[in-house]
Chain A
Amino acid sequence: MSNETRTLTLQSCRHCGAGAPTEVHFCPQCERILTLTRHGDYFSFFGLPRKLVVDLADLDLRFRRLSRQFHPDYFYTASGQERVASLERASYLNDAYRVLRQPLDRAEYLLRVEGLPGVGMHQDAHELPAGVLEEMFALNEELDEIRAAREAGAAPEQLSARLESARRPIEERAARQEAQLEALFQRWDKQLDEQSPRDVRRATLESIRSLLQERSYIANLIAAALREGGQS
């Protein structure tokens, strides 16, 4: 992790009052589990840098190790305060694991902790690249026609063929986006390693955000198309 993004705030032990860096889970002085007050983010909780390409086997291993450290099953006979701390820490761990395990959730989360507006909020059609809207309108129109045709009693095979061809360009676009995202994730990681200037990294995040935005917009349309397909 670059020094720049490292959080230097402290949490303090409710038991002995000692201070501890936010990314540790146990009091350096009395060794008791720390109540979850000030903490870093999902990445630092796992002892990971804020990178977008994650080795899942390593993440799983860390998850199991941390679970073994503070699962509530191991704190049943501890003090009330430690029991609460274990529940909250284990909960946070599980929530973090769930997000970090999925590349898109991980990316959306990174955008949030880096201070960018959430994906899906402030959705603005102007932000979409040229051609996408036209494609979407065409698809919507085609879906309407398919719907009308079904109601008019058209043959199911014919409908599903039309649906298939309507879906194809959208799915191809989705595959292209996937590849673009992958490249952007790697770029971000590299910039983090090289400690690139802030505005350079920010630009990468902005690109990721607009791709995710576009993707969620298109995902909704694909879902609609799939629903149509399921009905035919």
Chain B
Amino acid sequence: MSKVVGIDLGTTNSLVAFVGRDGPVVIRDGSGDALVPSVVSLGAGDIVHVGREAERRLLTDPLRTVYSIKRLMGRGAEDVRDEAALFPFRLSGEAGGVVRVGLGDRELTPPEISAFILRELKRRAEEYFLEQGEFDAEVDRAVITVPAYFNDAQRTATRDAGRIAGLEVLRIINEPTAASLAYGLDRRRSGTIAVYDFGGGTFDISILRVEDDVFQVLATNGDTHLGGDDIDQLLVALVLRESGLGSAIDPARLQAVRRAVIRAKWDLSERDGTVIRVEDPGAADRAGPLFERGLSRDEFERIIRPIVERTLEPCRLALADAGLEVSQIDEAVLVGGSTRIPLVRRSVEALFGRPPHADLNPDEVVAIGAAIQADIMISGRRDMLLLDVTPLSLGIETMGGAMSKIILRNSTIPASGTEMFTTFVDNQTAVDIHVLQGERELVGDNRSLARFKLGGIPPMPAGLPRIQVRFQIDANGILSVSAHELRTAIEQTIEVKPSYGLTDGEVERMLLESFEHAEADVAARVLIETRNEAETVIRATEKSLRNPDLAQAAAGDLAPGELAAIESALADLRAAVTSNDRAMLEAKTKVLNDVTRHLAEVMMNRGVRAALAGKRVDGV
């Protein structure tokens, strides 16, 4: 059996875990390191490096090294204009289209970059399984986590990344919910918990009720652009300001500054003071640092306080949406690397009025939860169940540019909603629908998900058609739309143009491009072979039945009714030949084969006799 894994695809680091015989295991490299830095770099000869090596190359080849790609997932070219200045790598893309990242001379989409990271995790897991002596070490299915507050476009982009990496994405699940599953496995008790997940690039808060081993998310909130990255940027700005290196700093030095402040940040989680020391990446070994300055924890906390405070408002909103008071929260759980910062811990403690739990490694707990979810979906165990919610309301544009909500935020998923549409002009055969996600009243303030054209409406006077459009959010939090006209029951065609995503065709193409060998779909191939076999038998039978000698043979050599049986079996197989049911096709082919065997013998014997007869004539 090929393997299934759980993947935490993080802004800064990614991890892979699986559930073995003895429970969940985080997969590590030879040196015991579980974290794969989410960095992709294009080396000499266009070799793609991922992880630690790519991270090292941030200093030596910053223009060809991409990091924090998660911040760009599911976003449009114009969305990231402000952010583009912060990244040394090239960002492009047409207005209204998906953002593209320059890597060497290629322009790749964020899902393609993420797919490199996923492939590295897949490779790492396969290597591990081989070392464990597994017979089938292939990893072909995964649960991948996303921030709870990711919108439809960001989730879809993540799923696309999985597909491009050659993984069947079993489920996209939310990071805080995954963490709660890992904690839940650990203790098994009921109650209301708040999961505070502060990672490298995103912040989430989820309020869950755990009862009967059902993990039911009551409300979620967050900010997909708030994380440790923002803290780093504040410190980088401080160093640039004080050092006089300025904004025209070259990319390699900028990375050196970034690395120095990150190290100082880590230090301050353990100590009361540290030194920011920026080495010059271009200078000789013994050269002095480019910049050096002491940083106390107090000063650090003053600098980052606004960022930490930005996490508190989403917490209050989530509590309000869950209809709960702070006092009703039984436990608060910390997830994500940024929760190691003492100020973050103190703030969470102050908000929830109790010390938060951080017993499990905050870097690893999400991947463990993802692995448990993958195991639940594949192994048939039913001991636990996640019930998650959609973080944002879903709606459509109405006349006047307002948003009409169809599925409200914090609805348990899967969820659905229907909306009636009609026409405004006589004989109108199509209606345009603009789907949005967000909480604001006006269309422009919300996220545009897709524009749909409802086509194939039968021509009728204006206002008469009644087109029911059904919006379905699946358990991944991803939307699909279907429609039909109620008067005529005609199923409508829908053309989907994702506002900031890839079409299925594009994903397919990227998958092919990314693979040297496209994996042959075995089932499809076997079906095609079976169908070819059926067609061969049909053709041979038809040929026998057209043989001018048939009538004579039937009179002399065939049993009564034999011909009728053949014709009926032939008709049967002809009707089945386009079916996708391989077993049935095989069975009917066999029936026709069997029933014609005698006829074939008869015809062959007659042919032989005729040939011999002819020969005799000729030979005379």
Do B414 and A72 touch across chains, with their CB atoms under 8 A apart? yes
Convert A76-111 into 0s and 1s, putting 1 for each residue whose CB lies closer than 8 angstroms to a CB of B.
110000000001001110110110000000000000
The answer on a CB contact under 8 Å between A91 and B414 is yes
Q: Is A25's beta carbon under 8 Å from chain B?
A: no
B377 at the interface (CB under 8 A from A): yes
B42-73: contact bitstring with A at CB < 8 Å (1 yes, 0 no)? 00000000000000000000000000000000
Cα distance A71–B213 in the bound complex, in angstroms: 14
Q: Are B385 and A94 in contact (CB under 8 A)?
A: no
Q: Residue of B at shortest CB range from A74? A: B382
User: Nearest Cβ in chain A — how far from B9, in angstroms?
Assistant: 20
Is A64 close to B, CB under 8 A? yes
A67 an interface residue at 8 Å Cβ cutoff? Answer: yes
User: Which B-chain residue is minimally distant from A89 (CB atoms)?
Assistant: B414
- Judge if B240 is at the interface, Cβ distance under 8 Å: no
Assembled-state Cα–Cα distance A61/B211 (Å): 9
**A45 → B minimal CB distance (Å):** 14
Residues of A within 8 A of B472 (CB): 87, 91
Check A171 for interface membership: any CB of B closer than 8 A.
no
Given A87-B474, A91-B414, A94-B414: A73 in contact with B378 (beta carbons within 8 A): no
Interface assignment of A112: CB less than 8 Å from any CB of chain B:
no
In Å, the complex CA distance between A91 and B214 comes to: 17
Task: Report chain A residues within 8 Å CB of B387.
Answer: 67, 71
| B373: chain A residues within 8 A (beta carbon) | 73
Cα distance A61–B190 in the bound complex, in angstroms: 13
Could you say which residues of chain B place their CB within 8 Å of the CB of A67?
214, 385, 387
Q: How many A residues touch B, CB cutoff 8 Å?
A: 19
Min CB distance A101 to B, Å, is: 10
Task: Answer yes or no: A68 CB below 8 A from chain B CBs.
Answer: yes
| Docked CA distance A92–B414 (Å) | 8
Q: Give B360-397 interface residues, CB cut-off 8 Å to A.
A: 373, 376-378, 380, 382, 385-387
Q: Is the CB of A64 within 8 A of B211?
A: yes
Instruction: Report the minimal beta-carbon distance from A117 to chain B, rounded to whole angstroms.
Output: 16
When distances are taken between beta carbons in the complex, the residues of chain A under 8 Å from B216 are 64
Cβ-closest chain B residue relative to A60 = B211
Assess the B214–A77 pair: CB atoms within 8 A: no
Contact yes or no, A94 B211, CB < 8 A = no
The yes or no answer to B236 lying at the interface (CB within 8 A) is no
A90 and B414 within 8 A (CB): yes
Q: Does B269 contact A (CB under 8 A)?
A: no
Interface pair B412/A87, CB less than 8 Å apart: no
Expressed in whole angstroms, the minimum distance between the Cβ of B591 and any Cβ of chain A is 24
A68 to B376, alpha carbons, bound, how many Å?
A: 12
A87 to B470, CA, bound (A): 14
A-contact bits for B401-433, CB 8 A (1 contact / 0 none) = 000000000011111110000000000000000
CB-based nearest A residue for B376: A73
User: Does the CB pair B475–A73 fall under 8 Å?
Assistant: yes
User: B411 to A98, Cβ gap below 8 A?
Assistant: yes
Residues of A43-62 whose CB lies within 8 A of B: 60-61
CB neighbours of B376 from chain A (8 A): 73-74
- CB neighbours of A68 from chain B (8 A): 212, 214, 382, 385
Contacts of B377 in A (CB 8 A): 73-74, 76-77
Known: A64-B212, A94-B414. A87 touches B385 (CB 8 A): no
Q: Mark B472-512, 1 if CB is under 8 A from A, else 0.
A: 10110000000000000000000000000000000000000
List residues of A (172-194) whose CB comes within 8 Å of B's CBs. none
In the bound assembly, the distance between CA atoms of A60 and B323 in angstroms comes to: 15
Q: Count A-B pairs with CB separation below 8 Å.
A: 62
The answer, among B171, B378, B416, B475, for a CB contact under 8 Å with A95, is B416
Residue of A73, A90, A92, A95 with highest tally of chain B CB at under 10 A: A73
Q: Which residues of B contact A91 (CB under 8 A)?
A: 414-416, 472
**Does B170 have its Cβ within 8 Å of any Cβ on chain A?**
yes
A71 touches B475 (CB 8 A): yes
Residues of B close to A72: CB separation below 8 A: 414, 474-475
Chain B residues with Cβ below 8 Å from A71 are: 385, 387, 475
Whether A87 lies near B414 (C-beta < 8 A) is: yes
Residues in B with CB closer than 8 Å to A74 are 376-377, 380, 382, 385
Question: Which residues of B are found within 8 Å of A90, using beta-carbon distances?
Answer: 414, 475
B412 contacts A98, C-beta separation under 8 Å = yes
- Can you name the residue of chain A whose Cβ is closest to the Cβ of B411? A98
Measured between beta carbons, the chain A residues less than 8 angstroms from B415 are 91, 94-95, 98
Interface code B208-246, partner A: CB below 8 Å = 1, 0 otherwise? Answer: 000110101000000000000000000000000000000
Q: How far is the CA of A4 from the CA of B417 in the complex (A)?
A: 30
Contact indicator A77/B380 (Cβ below 8 Å): yes
Whether B413 and A94, one on each chain, are in contact in the complex, defined by CB atoms closer than 8 angstroms, is: yes
Q: How far does the alpha carbon of A72 sit from the alpha carbon of B211 in the complex, in Å?
A: 19
Bound state CA distance, A63 and B131, in angstroms?
Answer: 44
A77 contacts B412, C-beta separation under 8 Å: no
Check B378–A76 contact: CB distance below 8 A. Answer: yes
A94 and B171 form a contact (CB under 8 A) = no
Q: Which residues of the other chain, B, contact A92 by a CB distance below 8 angstroms?
A: 416
Q: Bound state CA distance, A90 and B413, in angstroms?
A: 8
What's the nearest-Cβ distance from chain A to residue B390, in Å? Answer: 10
* Nearest CB in chain B: distance from A106 CB, A: 16
Q: Which residues of A contact B380 (CB under 8 A)?
A: 74, 77
- Bound CA span A74–B211, Å: 18
A164 to chain B, nearest CB (A): 22
List residues of chain B with CB within 8 A of the CB of A98. Answer: 411-412, 415
Nearest CB of B to A85, in Å = 12
Cα–Cα distance between A97 and B412 once the two chains are bound (Å):
9
* B413 nearest in chain A by CB position: A94
CB of A109 to closest CB in B, whole Å: 14
A64-B212, A67-B385 known; A73+B171 contact, CB < 8 A: yes
Q: For B413, what are the chain A residues with a Cβ–Cβ distance below 8 Å? A: 94
Q: Could you tell me the distance in whole angstroms from the C-beta of B300 to the nearest C-beta in chain A?
A: 36
Contact of B385 among A60, A73, A97 (CB under 8 A): A73
CA distance A98 to B410 in the complex (A): 10
Task: Kindly list chain A residues whose C-beta atoms are within 8 Å of the C-beta of B211.
Answer: 60, 64
A132 to B475, CA, bound (A): 45
Chain B residues whose C-beta falls within 8 Å of the C-beta of A97 in the assembled complex: 412
Tell me, in angstroms, the Cα distance from A127 to B197 when the chains sit together: 51
Which residue in chain A gives the minimum CB-CB distance to B377? A76
Shortest beta-carbon distance from A103 to chain B in Å: 13
The reply to whether B378 and A77 form a contact with Cβ atoms under 8 Å apart is yes
Judge whether B170 and A76 touch: CB under 8 Å: yes
CA–CA, A94 and B413, complex, Å: 7
A115-154 near B? 1/0 per residue, CB < 8 Å? 0000000000000000000000000000000000000000
Whole-angstrom distance from the CB of A42 to the nearest CB of chain B? 13
The 8 A CB mask of B156-198 against A (1 = contact, 0 = none) is 0000000000000011000000000000000000000000000
* A55 vs B376: C-alpha distance when bound (angstroms): 31
Partner of A87, one of B382, B417, B475: B475
Least CB separation from A90: chain B residue: B414
What is the chain B residue whose CB lies nearest that of A87? B414
| C-alpha gap A76/B141 in the complex (Å) | 12
What 7 pairs between A and B have smallest CB-CB spacing?
Answer: A91-B414, A94-B412, A76-B377, A64-B214, A91-B416, A72-B475, A90-B414
Q: Give residues in A with beta carbon < 8 Å to B.
A: 60-61, 64, 67-68, 71-74, 76-77, 87, 90-92, 94-95, 97-98
B binding-site residues for A, Cβ under 8 Å: 170-171, 211-212, 214, 216, 373, 376-378, 380, 382, 385-387, 411-417, 472, 474-475
Q: List 13 A-B contacts (CB under 8 A).
A: A60-B211, A61-B212, A64-B214, A67-B385, A68-B214, A68-B382, A68-B385, A71-B385, A72-B475, A73-B385, A73-B386, A74-B377, A87-B414
Q: 7 more A-B contacts (CB under 8 A) besides A68-B212, A73-B475?
A: A67-B387, A72-B475, A76-B377, A76-B378, A87-B472, A90-B414, A90-B475
